[in-house]
Amino acid sequence: MRKLGYSPVSQFILLLLAVSTVLAAQDRPLLQDYQGRKIDLIHFDPATQPLDPDELNQILPIKAGTPLSMALVRASIQRLYATGRYKDIQVDAEPRSPDPNSPLVIRFSTRNSWFIGEVEMDGNVGEPPNQGQILNASRLELGDPFAEENLKTAADNIKRLLVANGYYESVVTPGFNYSDHEQVNIIFHVTPGKRAHFDTPQLKGNYKLTPAQIIRATKWRRFIVGGWKQITQSRVRQGIEGIRGKYQKSNRLLATISLDSMEYNPAQRRASPHLTIDAGPRVEIKAIGAKVSRKKLVDNVPIFEEHTVDRDLLVEGQRNLREEFQAAGYFEAQVEFKEQKVVNDRAEIDYLITPGIRHTFAHLEIQGNKYFTTQSIRERMFLEPKSFQFRRGRYSEAFVRDDEDAITNLYKSNGFRDVKVAATPIDDYQGKVGNIAVVIHIDEGPQWFVSHLTVSGAKKLDLAPILSTLSSSEDQPFSEFNVAADRDAIISYYFQNGFANANFEWSSTPGVKPTLVDLQFRIVEGEQQFVREVLTMGLQTTRPKLVYRNLLLSPGDPLSPIRMSDTQRRLYDLGVFAQVNMAIQNPDGETERKYVVYDIEEARRYSITGGFGAEIARIGGGSSSQSLDNPGGATGFSPRVSFDVSRINLFGLGHTLSFRSRVSTLQKRGLIDYLAPRIFNHTNFDLTFTALYDDSKDIKTFKSRREEGSIQLTQRFSKPTTLFYRFNYRQVHVSDLHINPLLAPRLAQSVRIGEASVNLIQDRRDDPTDAHKGIYNTVDMAFASSAFGSQANFIRILARNATYRRIGKKLVFARETTMGIEPSFGTVKNNPDLSDPIPLPERFFGGGGSSHRGFPENQAGPRDPLTGFPVGGSALLFNSTELRFPLLGANIGGVIFHDMGNIYSSLSKISFRVKQKDLTDFDYMAHAAGFGIRYRTPIGPVRADLAYSINSPKFNGFKGTFTELVQCTGLGTCQRTEQRISRLQYFFSIGQTF
């Protein structure tokens, strides 16, 4: 031994200790040695844990001051792991001292779990695919547990998507960084490379068509120009569908086309699709025994839609054809099918149809109903005796079955458990051969009621708000439908309050009387979950306060999925976010409190749109400032272009600044507006400031130039109802007046208008661009007064009511009525002698494609007695009715319309008189009727209307120039010519009339 300078005894003691230490290390204390010893302290390493100390204390069954139990240690590990917030847990025990009975210090060493946060990509990838599709391909979901090994799979998925879209040389590299709240932000670095082009497809199999025909069907080659198109996933799919369509046209319904692979040539950057095609035989479907059009066969036999032939589809076709015949009056129609063998590349399927006698469903009778009226039962039935809409009635065996079931369900859901419904058809009704009647006999039976309802199990949540709304409450009819509805209501109520695992069971026992039932609802509430914190990610320019104001969840609130969705919707409504993803972090973990995460993608701040359009109608005439020809308008063509720029999310506050412009031969317009939504933190109020410059000649009588500033407060009462409070101040300059020269100087003065107005809109239409049902009301009231700096004093009230109603499946009846009055009042300060008529540009003008198609644009109402140009009025009444119907396919429709009304010189002049008294009388009701075509586009219907006016107005006009008019007026030698608004009017534009 090395000399340490110790005595031999000391050295011996040291040796003993060293040996015993080694021995002790080799013979570690068994767990039983610690079992039962008192726990002095429990601590965690690291000290900062994913759960709060209170939560940890609640979760852990092992407690300081109690004896150590291995079973409890095991249970502690299990419960901590089950929270989902831990990846690894190890428990150490250390005695306070070497004394075998000394208490223990227990240490939990943990490694926490991580969860997916933001998933982004960088790299310039030409669409398709777009960024959203690329990130979706990763299948990394917000809030889910993160595992580094899954990143490679995610990158591979993205690569697969890119390759499917022609990016064979793409490289995808994942990266990630740990963030707070146990979140991991992931970024995929994508280098796409160049997109490959198609190459000549390699075909194999029995394809029967020539390769050229197949390639043409794919549309993978460029038309005329030649060369191959770039590869995208949708082009590949459409190409295969194109081949299938080609085979279908020649009735090869059993053709199979499969894409085996895409062979990529990196030198040329082309990929050749390898296709295996089996054309299959021609499948001929024939109807024997009755005439059935090809279209009806295709509609009813689903083999065409499913691109395959199997027995189930043929049976379905058999059923559909039978019902088709029954619906046409062949109530006893029989249909069978027979498959022939394939002979000479031809497979025949014959549908053998025996239509039978053609009947008429003449009469329907319902007997035995006491609880429900016949009317309320009939509303639920398909069976329909003959009527204007159904010439032979609507009858089939399927309808009879469905109606029996519908009536039975109606009664059962109202407590009639024992109801019996039987339909009896009667042939040759009232002795008429071919007439059928159906008698539906209802044996209602007794109605069962709930005598007593007991709800048990609700310990944590107060059910009082919902109990009063239950359908199965005492003295209400008892039915399983009602119980199911109550179950849904109760579970939904629990769900909204954070009880994601609530369970509902029910049972019933006989009540004190035979038709009474005692109901028992038992609820197993499960654990309630709460919001730990709401996390938001992805904000770069938006101020966090804007987002926080719209959060409907706070820490400690019950975890309600509905509030989560409502918050998401409010964030979308701000109009500054392109995407708002939401998730619960660690959804499967057994913790009481959870993070709610919103991953927000800000929208592009600038948007630029441009457009062009045109109008063709009687909008021309009098185009030169001097010419007074054609006061009633002549055919004109007005092209227009528009250009808009918007900057959203100004200052990160969600405000928007827009510039909108529109230029056409009739109008030059520029507008700047600033929108501040949810002003002063009120979600229902928006504030808008607008500056407008408008120079237009859409009224042939004059040219107007308008400069206007306005401020508007929008108040949303509810989804359909909105109120606008507006103040505007404008200066209007009028020139090129085509009216009596004596009036021209006064009416040519520019005028300032200061006006306060209120506008109410109530929109309950199903589709604002092309309504099929609903109602639309608007009332606009404006008050122009010298108190607002106005040089004219008047009130304007304009009200509109439109209704839309379906008739049958395909027709829509639409009606709109508009009424307006505009009385003036008082005199203008500094001009007390002036009677102050309403300035020309402020009067009502009407007529044209959007109001009354019997008139050209803005040509209705009073006219100048000398020149015949319209001068507007201070009252209006229009009514339009349209019958809209499909014409050709799904996108082309037709309308038949009738418009009536006019612009009147004053409220008291409104009249329904149809005859014009003389050439100066315009206060009568003009009528026009016509038809139109509508072509549905993504932005609304494009329309063309042709109208014929029954009583278009006659008026005095002047042929010549304005200078000539001035001269002859002075001399009193003006030659008036009698003119008339053309009876035939046509219009072409975008959007429904109303």
Partner 1 sequence: MRRLAIIAASLFVLNAPAAVIDRIAVALGNQVITESEIIEEIRVTAYLNGGPVDLSPKSRHQAADRLIEQKLVHKERELERYDDPPGDTAAATLAAIEKRYPSAAAFDSALREYGLTRADLQAHLLWQSSLLQFVEQRFRPAVQVTRDDVKKYFDEKVLPAAKPGQKVNLDDMRESIEETLTSALADKQLDDWLRDTRAHTKVEFYDEAFR
- What residue ranges bind partner 1 (CB under 8 A)? 6, 10, 13-14, 17-18, 20-21, 24-25, 28-32, 34, 70, 73-74, 77-78, 81-82, 84, 88-95, 97-98, 105, 107, 588-590
496 SS3 class:
helix
Q: What is each CA distance from 865 to 738, 921, 954, in whole angstroms?
A: 11, 10, 11
Of the pair 452, 522, the CB lying nearest partner 1 is at 522
| CB of 82 vs partner 1, minimal distance in Å | 5
CB atoms within 10 A of CB 689: 14
Q: Answer yes or no: are the C-beta atoms of 503 and 490 closer than 8 Å.
A: no
| CB of 277 vs partner 1, minimal distance in Å | 37
| CB of 31 vs partner 1, minimal distance in Å | 6
Q: Tokens for 337?
A: 């099918």
| CB of 505 vs partner 1, minimal distance in Å | 12
The residues, ordered by sequence, that sit 6+ positions from 566 with a Cβ below 8 Å of its Cβ are 552
Q: Tokens for 869?
A: 């140009």
Q: What is the 3-state secondary structure (H, E, C) of 268-333?
A: CCEEEEEEEEECCCEEEEEEECCCCCHHHHHHHCCHHHHCCCCHHHHHHHHHHHHHHHHHCCCCCC
Q: Answer yes or no: are the C-beta atoms of 698 and 688 closer than 8 Å.
A: no
Of the pair 34, 783, the CB lying nearest partner 1 is at 34
User: Cα(714)–Cα(837) distance, rounded to whole angstroms?
Assistant: 31
Q: What is each CA distance from 402 to 15, 377, 399, 551, in whole angstroms?
A: 98, 13, 5, 47
Of the pair 522, 752, the CB lying nearest partner 1 is at 522
| CB of 14 vs partner 1, minimal distance in Å | 6
852 - beta bridge partners?
none
Longest Cα separation, the chain? 151
User: Cα(135)–Cα(561) distance, rounded to whole angstroms?
Assistant: 24
232 SS3 class:
coil
| CB of 530 vs partner 1, minimal distance in Å | 20
Q: Tokens for 630?
A: 């054609």
Q: Tokens for 335?
A: 């249909």
Of the pair 6, 612, the CB lying nearest partner 1 is at 6
Q: Answer yes or no: are the C-beta atoms of 76 and 62 closer than 8 Å.
A: yes
User: Cα(257)–Cα(981) distance, rounded to whole angstroms?
Assistant: 63
Of the pair 10, 268, the CB lying nearest partner 1 is at 10
Of the pair 64, 105, the CB lying nearest partner 1 is at 105
User: Cα(636)–Cα(986) distance, rounded to whole angstroms?
Assistant: 11
| CB of 188 vs partner 1, minimal distance in Å | 24
Buried residues in 16-53 as b, exposed as e (16+ CB within 10 A):
eeeeeeeeeeeeeeeeeebeebebeebebeeeebbbee
Helix axes 397-412, 480-496, angle to 10 degrees: 70
| CB of 21 vs partner 1, minimal distance in Å | 5
| CB of 94 vs partner 1, minimal distance in Å | 4
Of the pair 94, 767, the CB lying nearest partner 1 is at 94
User: Cα(625)–Cα(738) distance, rounded to whole angstroms?
Assistant: 8
| CB of 114 vs partner 1, minimal distance in Å | 15
Q: Tokens for 885?
A: 């119907």
Element (H, E) at 449: strand 449-456
User: Cα(883)–Cα(898) distance, rounded to whole angstroms?
Assistant: 9
Q: Answer yes or no: are the C-beta atoms of 336 and 352 closer than 8 Å.
A: yes
| CB of 568 vs partner 1, minimal distance in Å | 27
Residue among 87, 76, 171 nearest 123 (CA): 171
Of the pair 81, 390, the CB lying nearest partner 1 is at 81
User: Cα(142)–Cα(586) distance, rounded to whole angstroms?
Assistant: 10
160 SS3 class:
helix
Proportion of the chain in helix, strand, coil states, percent, rounded to 5:
20, 40, 40
Q: Answer yes or no: are the C-beta atoms of 939 and 769 closer than 8 Å.
A: yes
Of the pair 97, 375, the CB lying nearest partner 1 is at 97
Q: What is the 3-state secondary structure (H, E, C) of 77-123?
A: HHHHHHCCCEEEEEEEEEECCCCCCCCEEEEEEEEECCEEEEEEEEC
CB atoms within 10 A of CB 541: 12
| CB of 34 vs partner 1, minimal distance in Å | 6
DSSP state of 747: H
Q: Answer yes or no: are the C-beta atoms of 706 and 731 closer than 8 Å.
A: yes
